Amino acid sequence: MRSSQDNRRQQPDSEPPRSGLSRRSLLGMAAAGTAVVAVGVGGNRLWSGSSEIPDWTYENIPPQQGRRVIVTGANGFPEGDRSGLGFHIALGLARAGAHVIIASRSQERGEEAIRWMMADSPDAVVRFEPLDLADLNSVRNFVASMHASSGGLDLLVNNAGTMGTVERQVSVDGFERVFATNALGPFALTAGLLPLLRNGNVPRIVWMCSGRGAFGDLDLDDLQREQSYDYASAYNDSKQAHLIAALECDRRSRALGWGVASIAAHPGVARTNLIPDGPGLDSPEGWRFRNMPFMFQGSAQGALPALYAAASPQAAGGGYYGPKGVMGMRGLPGLASVPDNSRDPQMAVDVWETLQRLGTVSFS
């Protein structure tokens, strides 16, 4: 088993041509800068890492043979100096023997990600299934496909997300697109897959949150942001909602006997496609991405808290895990603090009921 640093080392024969500093490559480093700035402007609300968890990395992933896993947004194969977090989550689980389903929008990019994974681990069992989280009909189709296929489900990793674009966009269902992608879609997906998870083996749901969620100021009466939109606020709020849903899901699972552990994680600040594919290199985040690359850890390491949540026997339902170094921005997995804005039980109920209503889903 290789270390996390080795995760991007091998390339498949079909590696696409690289142009040393392609758009995607240049942008890859930007994701971290965002949180760095968040630290600068909101020190009193910093999330914090912890050293309470002994060092845990790819070598510590327990055998996953027999486990059927869905990782959303796992198509971010290595490009230039970065790759998506979902790619490393899927690869880490596949190396350990899990049967991994990559759920993403682009079949072409999904298949390319699979080629990379197979080059790394020829015995890996990985396949692609189309899913657009910003399209509730696509979510329903994906859920139907999973129910129709035999094999059950043991783990869902709600990883996919967007930072949003400078200009406000609307999903096909008419929702503000960042909210639709990061909060509503994953929630509806989880609701649809819950019956399969309830029949799973030691089933888990992992929700990829963000330290930026600590800066959220979620207003359930203004989810559309028609009057005033900025992608940073939309992103922060969507990640606040995602964490609140993760924690509420675990409370409900315990209260209603679902037998499914719901666990939150965040990657700290990692060099991925999040900023390049979102607000872009000309945005404030893009500037930091280009000029402060030292603030961004590699995406293989950024994936570790979610992998810990997904696979460690020590990860607990209702837990929140993130990097344990440098103010929770980098390092190996540790305990993360739930920010004050995600602790209110009544708000959790309101968020849950709002997402159920807007997604026309229920959990059972």
Distance CA 288, CA 30 (A): 6
| 206: enclosing H helix or E strand | strand 204-208
Q: Does 341 bind ligand NAP (CB under 6 A)?
A: no
Q: Least distance (Å) from ligand NAP to the CB of residue 346? A: 26
12, 118 contact by CB (below 8 A)? yes
Q: CB within 8 A of 353, min separation 6: which ones?
A: none
Residue with tokens 């995406």: 299
Q: Does 38 bind ligand NAP (CB under 6 A)?
A: no
Angle at 186 between CA 184 and CA 191, to 5 degrees: 95
Q: Is 151 left (phi over 0), alpha (psi -120 to 50) or beta?
A: left
Using CB under 6 A, count the residues that bind ligand NAP: 32
Sign of torsion, CA 80 84 85 89?
A: negative
Q: Does 267 bind ligand NAP (CB under 6 A)?
A: yes
Among 26, 27, 29, 32, binds ligand NAP (CB under 6 A): 32
| Segment interacting with ligand NAP (CB under 6 A) among 67-75, 187-195, 283-291, 330-338 | 67-75
Among 79, 81, 120, 132, binds ligand NAP (CB under 6 A): 132
Q: Least distance (Å) from ligand NAP to the CB of residue 47? A: 11
Distance CA 54, CA 144 (A): 40
Among 27, 94, 157, 269, binds ligand NAP (CB under 6 A): 269
Q: Does 73 bind ligand NAP (CB under 6 A)?
A: yes
Which strands, in side-by-side order, build the sheet including 320-325?
125-130, 99-104, 68-72, 155-158, 204-208, 261-265, 320-325, 330-335
* Diameter over CA atoms, the chain: 53
Among 95, 266, 324, 330, binds ligand NAP (CB under 6 A): 266
Q: Does 273 bind ligand NAP (CB under 6 A)?
A: yes
Q: Which is nearer to ligand NAP, 24 or 198 (CB)?
A: 24
Q: Which is nearer to ligand NAP, 24 or 254 (CB)?
A: 24
Q: Would you call 235 helix, strand, or coil by DSSP? A: helix
Examine the residue annotation and report whether 235 is marked as an active-site residue of this protein: yes
Among 4, 29, 58, 76, binds ligand NAP (CB under 6 A): 76
In this structure, the number of other CB atoms found within 10 A of the CB of residue 215 comes to 25
Distance CA 286, CA 197 (A): 38
Distance CA 362, CA 364 (A): 6
Q: Which of residues 178-217 bind ligand NAP (CB under 6 A)?
A: 181, 208, 210
Q: Least distance (Å) from ligand NAP to the CB of residue 259? A: 26
Eight-class DSSP state of 28: G
In this structure, the number of other CB atoms found within 10 A of the CB of residue 25 comes to 18
Q: Which of residues 141-170 bind ligand NAP (CB under 6 A)?
A: 159-162
Q: Which tokens go with 338?
A: 């739930």
Residue of 58, 235, 320, 321 marked catalytic: 235
Q: Least distance (Å) from ligand NAP to the CB of residue 199? A: 25
Q: Does 75 bind ligand NAP (CB under 6 A)?
A: yes
Residues at the contact surface with ligand NAP, assessed by CB under 6 A: 31-32, 72-73, 75-76, 84-86, 104-106, 109, 131-134, 159-162, 181, 208, 210, 266-267, 269-270, 272-274, 277
Q: Which residues are catalytic?
A: 235
